């Protein structure tokens, strides 16, 4: 029997929040290389792999603050601007979208936005260079807009509020432990993405340990995964308290 329209449960999710670096654009290795080069030029020790392993998803200001504290020396004047120039140059020459990112954004039938630890200027350049900007116009949120960056929940809560979606109705797509941690702290569902070129064999396990409901490596699979998660939520609601299985823990696609 068809449920009366007034009684139908709202579809899930109401909003999909995408991280940008490593999720929509394949930028993490470019960023880490540029940052490591700038740090080396300033007399600091840090390899691109070390930056990726320790600081993926963390705002750059927090990362540099940690490095300065650990190595006991200040950054030179103009360091931030020099890093930005290196990254912008790398973006213009080599940045590519994550495979199937554009098609996935077109296929999703729910509102989407970007919520990233990058600056607004860097986000806009990344999306422009990769041709994704027109799909996300006016729906780009940066850590610059909030008091605390990831792993705090502030950015995701701010984006959801601006987009008019309750946290429980939001899905976050993230490639970092910090991002998944922030999503869970915000009361949102998190899917971990491992398809960026910076990923390591144990990335998926780390995302699951941080609280991701599932991990996947092909962006084209996202619409189907969302549909499966929605059906699983519906079946658990129908089953009532104490019945049904948790949503897709540890799945891969």
**Residues assigned a catalytic role:** 19, 21
Q: Sort strands 189-193 and 140-142 into parallel, antiparallel or unpaired.
A: unpaired
Instruction: Evaluate the omega torsion of the peptide bond into residue 28 and state whether it is cis, within 30 degrees of 0.
Output: no
Cβ neighbours, 10 Å, residue 244: 15
Burial of 10 (0-12, 13-18, 19+ CB in 10 A): exposed
For residues 113 and 140, is the Cβ–Cβ distance under 8 A? yes
Cβ neighbours, 10 Å, residue 209: 12
- Which backbone phi and psi does 113 adopt, to 5 degrees? -150, 170
Cβ neighbours, 10 Å, residue 218: 16
CA distances (Å), origin 247, targets 11, 216, 226, 228, 229? 16, 14, 11, 9, 6
Q: Determine the 3-state secondary structure of 103 from DSSP.
A: helix
For residues 87 and 122, is the Cβ–Cβ distance under 8 A? yes
- Which backbone phi and psi does 217 adopt, to 5 degrees? -120, -10
Torsion, Cα 39 154 217 64, to 10 degrees, reads: 10
């Amino acid at each position: 029997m068809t449920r009366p329209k007034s009684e139908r449960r709202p579809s899930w999710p109401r909003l999909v929040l995408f991280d940008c670096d490593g999720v929509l654009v394949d930028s993490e290795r470019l960023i880490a290389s540029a940052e490591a080069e700038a740090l080396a030029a300033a007399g600091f020790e840090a390899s691109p792999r070390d930056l990726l392993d320790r600081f993926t998803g963390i705002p750059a200001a927090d990362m540099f603050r940690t490095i300065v504290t650990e190595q006991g020396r200040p950054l030179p004047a103009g360091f931030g601007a020099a890093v930005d120039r290196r990254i912008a140059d790398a973006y213009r020459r080599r940045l590519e979208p994550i495979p199937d990112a554009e098609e996935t954004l077109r296929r999703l039938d729910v509102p989407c936005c970007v919520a990233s630890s990058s600056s607004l200027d860097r986000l806009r350049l990344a999306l422009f260079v990769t041709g994704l900007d027109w799909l996300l116009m006016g729906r780009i949120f940066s850590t610059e807009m909030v008091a605390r960056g990831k792993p705090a929940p502030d950015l995701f809560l701010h984006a959801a509020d601006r987009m008019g979606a309750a946290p429980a109705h939001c899905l976050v797509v993230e490639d970092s432990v910090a991002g998944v941690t922030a999503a869970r702290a915000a009361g949102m569902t998190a899917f971990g993405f491992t398809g960026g070129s910076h990923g390591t064999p144990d990335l998926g396990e780390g995302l699951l340990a941080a609280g991701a409901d599932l991990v996947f490596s092909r962006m084209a699979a996202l619409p189907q995964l969302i549909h499966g998660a929605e059906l699983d939520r519906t079946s658990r609601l129908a089953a009532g308290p104490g019945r049904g299985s948790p949503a897709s823990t540890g799945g891969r696609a």
